[in-house]
Amino acid sequence: MTYSLNLDFETRATVDLIGRVFGRWRVLRAIKPRKKHARYIAECSCGVRRVVYAGNLKRGLSKSCGCYNAEQSRVRATRHGMRDHPAYRVWCHIIGRCYNASDARYADYGGRGIYVSPRWRNSFENFWTDMGPTYRTGLTIERKNNDGPYSKRNCAWISHAAQSRNTRRNRVVNTVHGRMLLCDAARLSGLGHSTILYRVKAGWLLADILKPIR
């Protein structure tokens, strides 16, 4: 893939990162910024090349393509004996979405500055010490402050249903019954989320937005 070099002020100010090493990353060249955030092509010591944000490099939020965490996870999984436990998979997903640029959800987490507390980042044992006492089968983890880190103070176990209500993408819509979450409107009417959103965007009358399809 070919990347074009298009430097703005921020990129020019950090162009000295080229050639430097951050963890397992070696910075190769600058590329076009995204929303004024400087970006680079960097090569991991394992040979993988990725686009990495300058801020994540300088703050130590990105140190490899994910290979280091994968290696350490295998070591820790063998030591603590919880490799097949659901909570261990939760912890792995947390690390991946915050530090692995190839993770499908990286843009919503690590890409926007969400990080894992130092106590948890490299230690599942610490994570389990803090969160294990309140864990119950079937629960998932949620950050109380959606812009805050994964840490003991900012996290709690909740049900999947409760988390779906709290997601940033769960919109509030106006209906004949008043303002409500899209998921609640869908449950009340029996309509799909996309159908309700289409009617809202198309300017349907409030009395008609939740009417069943004939």
Q: What is the per-residue pLDDT across 69-90, written as a single tens digit (0 to 9) for each?
A: 766 666 665 556 677 788 888 9
- DSSP for 65-122, written as a single string: SSHHHHHHHHHHHHHHS-TTSHHHHHHHHHHHHHH-TTSTTGGGTGGGT--B-HHHHT
Residue 25 lies in a domain: yes
Q: Write the CA distances from 11 to 33, 36, 111, 146, integer angstroms.
A: 7, 8, 17, 28
Average confidence score pLDDT of the chain: 80
pLDDT at 162: 61
138 shares its domain with 108? yes
39 shares its domain with 88? no
189-200 confidence digits (pLDDT tens): 888 777 888 888
Q: Write the CA distances from 139 to 9, 90, 209, integer angstroms.
A: 45, 10, 33
Please state the rounded mean pLDDT for residues 90-111.
87
Orientation of helix 86-99 relative to helix 124-131, angle to 10°: 120
Phi, psi of 184 (to 5 degrees): -70, -40
Residue 127 lies in a domain: yes
Whether the per-residue pLDDT at 150 is higher than 60: the answer is: yes
Whether the per-residue pLDDT at 19 is higher than 70: the answer is: yes
152-163 confidence digits (pLDDT tens): 999 998 876 666
Please state the rounded mean pLDDT for residues 143-171.
76
* Structure-token pair, residue 89: 């998979």
141 shares its domain with 86? yes
Is residue 6 within 8 Å of residue 12, measured between CB atoms?
no
18 shares its domain with 89? no
Residue 124 lies in a domain: yes
The domain total for the chain is 3
pLDDT at 80: 63
25 shares its domain with 74? no
Residue 125 lies in a domain: yes
Q: Can you tell me the distance from the alpha carbon of 163 to that of 146, in angstroms, rounded to the nearest whole number?
A: 11
pLDDT at 73: 62
21-51 confidence digits (pLDDT tens): 998 899 999 888 888 888 999 998 888 888 9
Domain of 151 in residue numbering reads as 67-166
Is residue 92 within 8 Å of residue 71, measured between CB atoms?
no
pLDDT at 151: 95
Percentage of the chain lying above the pLDDT 90 cut = 15
Residue 24, SS3? coil
Q: Can you tell me the distance from the alpha carbon of 16 to that of 11, in angstroms, rounded to the nearest whole number?
A: 9
pLDDT at 81: 67
The answer to which of 4-13, 97-106, 168-177 has the lowest mean pLDDT is: 4-13
